[in-house]
Structure 1
């Protein structure tokens, strides 16, 4: 039975018009003689996306990229590949061979990707490539191959283009594998604020291949290790112990080490277990905000001096000292935490960590968290608590104490390195 159509009436025939939409379309908008003055729309947005460990993702025989995000279909496929410039330098030929082997008619959009170009201009560059490619709305997911900045930019572009276009992430940095590549958020920097413009638009699939890390600079390995340490400190003591035992070697070997799979697995699993029940951040007390209360302001003001994870580590060092002052972390635990940060080659302190910046950072965080601090602090190692009563005096005291601790650790490390260097030179 087809839906009943509204009965036409001449203009001015009455103050109300009956429109009784049946046939599964719900009740009418008007009840005869009684105008309705408001409506409530309520719907659920089902979200399902996959994060998969995919070794050998660029192996020409591996169909993971070609089939990601859409049902397998016979014949040739079309894909727009957005690739970070440095990744293209290293892997461009392999990407081309992969597309040929998997019968993918593709276009490359190669763009730089770092914090200084994490802007709407980069987003528009991607959307322009999507338009020129003639992208089908649902069946041709964009493939983003690069680090966290690249996947954030492509994700935002895809959320805007035709209001929602699917995309697939292939993160090539450690911070992409364990943090930026596994959540739902997209974003760019705006007006000197970190990720001030963004959306929630998860990739339909994220393919994790740690082989990319073999060509990553050691500093960028450390950058990602800071985000792993975040998960360890606030919710996973076993992960902290793994980092304490293997962390320096993992960094030195660029995660091409037997412990890497467990470390990455625990970090990704820990992150997703926190994100899944609160993907849209309706609840603003988020344990994964640990290390992200002061770091956004510090990172933006220090550009290009600090990488994201380095700023996060400074934030975690500061809040670890704060927790110690409140008796939440013992002196022994505090020393272990700061010592591990130093052994991982991460900064504990920055010269901009002054009262003015701390005040501005906390004020912006309070606005971001809807009028409250909701500041995550560690309880020992592997648990946390949220506080709302942090004072300027506490912050100033913690900053001074951290500065002294960072100097002492630097002196200690240099004194240990000197004999080793002398022995190496003598040999």
Structure 2
């Protein structure tokens, strides 16, 4: 840390400073953030040391090593036995905290509950990490609790959903919902590491795979045209089994999605720059996600937002008719919605007003500028929203007609 004194005096050190002098000290510090995001096959195989090493254990000696594992209840039902065998083979002394990873539990109460488990486990402040295993909701809660407890204790992320593996589980943002707002309370707190094993994805249902695919489509539309073409080429094969397999195209899709996300996050981890490409599909979707009945998953709300943004880009001639139709079609073929009954003018205008506050007074809306690139707009009008809604309504009608036929 470098402390610069902006006031100086030539008086001897023992001479008191003048009572009416104004003194300013400017402090400047930088925080070095380093963490690994690793794709690891066979993570729960006791012969694989990756998880043990991430937990700070490099040999399976007889010394018991204390750790807290916070795990989604459904994941525990599916993989609890394997995890117990793994940790047992490496001589870990595990305290278990089992939580529901549903969106309704993404709140301050859950975060406080996790901090109580940290206290009960008696973890050392720096040397004994917390392990979060589950989807994006649980990992956000665990990360937020870890940032609060003793002003920061180390934690590991093991995302078990597609959404977690390519988006929510690999950055440094944590948070919980508060009031009528998504992620209104949160922090930037990097994990020690994030370990990704795609075999977890084989136990998901198709809806949760599509939920994660929405965020991959996002990266394709604003950053990576090659990724878009890959998705489009196998859109009918984006299944749980495919994502859990060794399929080379799926592997490339995963790698490109993760690499693209990390490349966007790394130079702007604390969001000093509020014009962020990765906010594509996240201007109107937070309001939709919280208000939709029946409930929408995060990626489904993002898909509806993306479809609208495709229409907005077409209206500004940033996308050709063909590009817009291909983008809308890919969203639909991936099992995602392009509209919702409450996604209407009034909701959009209120959501936009809230976004302007969140983005410090400007809209900063990312729109596709051709598939695979993005630009930002700050002058979106109500009239454009109306035309975009009409475009999506027309495409939805055509989609329903095709389904009937």
TM-score (norm 2): 0.93
Partner SS state of residue 100, structure 1: helix
| Alignment pair present for 1:167 and 2:137 | no
Q: Quick one: distance in 2 between partners of 1:403 and 1:251?
A: 28
Decide whether the 8 Å contact of 1:61 with 1:102 is kept in 2.
Answer: no
Q: Structure 1's 303 and 143: CA in aligned 2 closer, same or farther, altered over 3 A?
A: farther
Structure 1 residues without counterparts, runs of 5 or longer: 1-15, 21-29, 416-427
After TM superposition, the structure 1 = structure 2 runs for residues 121-200 of structure 1, keeping only pairs within 5 Å, are 121-200=109-188
Decide whether the 8 Å contact of 2:154 with 2:191 is kept in 1.
Answer: yes
Aligned to 2:86: 98
Decide whether the 8 Å contact of 2:42 with 2:48 is kept in 1.
Answer: yes
Aligned to 2:3: none
Aligned to 2:6: none
Decide whether the 8 Å contact of 2:201 with 2:241 is kept in 1.
Answer: no
Structure 2 residues without counterparts, runs of 5 or longer: 1-8
Q: Quick one: distance in 2 between partners of 1:330 and 1:31?
A: 74
CA distances 1:385-404 after superposition (whole Å, capped 9, x unpaired): 00001000110111121011
Decide whether the 8 Å contact of 1:116 with 1:304 is kept in 2.
Answer: no
Aligned to 2:50: 64
Partner SS state of residue 385, structure 2: helix
Aligned to 1:336: 326
What is the CA RMSD across the aligned residues, in angstroms?
1.7
| Alignment pair present for 1:369 and 2:359 | yes
Selected match of 1:267 from 257, 275, 293 = 257
| Alignment pair present for 1:120 and 2:118 | no
Residue 100 of structure 1: CA displacement?
0.6
| Alignment pair present for 1:240 and 2:203 | no
Decide whether the 8 Å contact of 1:221 with 1:254 is kept in 2.
Answer: no
Decide whether the 8 Å contact of 2:71 with 2:97 is kept in 1.
Answer: yes
When Rg is computed on C-alpha atoms for both structures, the one with the higher figure is 1
Q: Structure 1's 52 and 252: CA in aligned 2 closer, same or farther, altered over 3 A?
A: closer
Residue 231 of structure 1: CA displacement?
0.2
Selected match of 2:373 from 378, 383, 404 = 383
Q: Greater CA deviation, 244-253 or 81-90? A: 244-253
Decide whether the 8 Å contact of 1:324 with 1:334 is kept in 2.
Answer: yes
Partner SS state of residue 199, structure 1: strand
Q: Quick one: distance in 1 between partners of 2:390 and 2:202?
A: 38
Partner SS state of residue 51, structure 1: strand
Residue 40 of structure 1: CA displacement?
1.4
Partner SS state of residue 97, structure 1: helix
Q: Structure 1's 351 and 31: CA in aligned 2 closer, same or farther, altered over 3 A?
A: farther
Aligned to 1:258: 248
Aligned to 1:413: 403
Q: Quick one: distance in 1 between partners of 2:53 and 2:22?
A: 48
Partner SS state of residue 406, structure 1: helix
Q: Quick one: distance in 2 between partners of 1:385 and 1:69?
A: 41
Q: Quick one: distance in 2 between partners of 1:19 and 1:205?
A: 51
Q: Structure 1's 144 and 212: CA in aligned 2 closer, same or farther, altered over 3 A?
A: same
How many residue pairs get matched? Answer: 390
Partner SS state of residue 47, structure 1: coil
Aligned to 2:288: 298
Structure richer in strand, relative to its length: 2
Partner SS state of residue 195, structure 2: strand
Decide whether the 8 Å contact of 1:216 with 1:254 is kept in 2.
Answer: no
Partner SS state of residue 373, structure 1: coil
Spell out structure 1 runs of 4+ moving beyond 3 A: 30-36, 69-75
| Alignment pair present for 1:222 and 2:210 | yes
